[in-house]
Amino acid sequence: MTYRKPPQDCADMAELRQAIDAIDVELVKLLRDRADYIDRAVTLKRANGWPARIHSRVEEVITNVCRTAEAEGLDPELVEGLWRDMVNWSITREAREIPET
């Protein structure tokens, strides 16, 4: 994580936008890391005969991130929507590689 000024210390919009752009770069890198783990999940799920979508795990992930969002003072509804989209994208990606059981 790159050091940034707190938002209240940004003197103008240019400085604020620079910080937001830096956060976006970090987020994209983290999403790339997450996708790498999803790729590994394909291999492990295939080896175990597991389906791409495991409903209980999906709900566990959503519950965990919503709880974290609340603890961090972020709207859990926003986080839930983002994560459901991301998880569904990941499962679709997995399903292309995992045969239906």
- The pTM score is 0.86
Which residue range forms the structural domain that includes residue 68? 12-95
Tell me, what's the pLDDT at 1? 58
85 falls within a domain = yes
Does residue 18 sit within a domain? Answer: yes
Percent of the chain with pLDDT strictly greater than 70: 96
Q: Is residue 66 part of a domain?
A: yes
Q: Which of 3-7, 26-30, 58-62 has the lowest mean pLDDT?
A: 3-7
Q: Residue 56: its pLDDT value, please?
A: 98
On whether the CB atoms of residues 62 and 84 are closer than 8 A, the answer is yes
Residue 101 in any domain: the answer is no
Domain presence at residue 87: yes
Whether the per-residue pLDDT at 18 is higher than 60: the answer is yes
Residue 93 has pLDDT above 90, yes or no: yes
Q: How many domains does the chain have?
A: 1
Q: Is 1 a member of any domain?
A: no
Q: Would 5 be classed as within a structural domain? A: no
Do residues 23 and 17 lie in contact, with contact meaning Cβ atoms separated by under 8 Å? no
Average pLDDT, the chain: 94
Distances (CA, A) of 45 to 33, 58, 99: 18, 15, 10
Is 67 a domain residue? yes
Mean pLDDT in residue range 25-49: 96
Mean pLDDT, range 88-100, rounded to an integer? 92
Inform me whether the pLDDT recorded for 101 exceeds 60. no
CATH at residue 27: 1.20.59.10
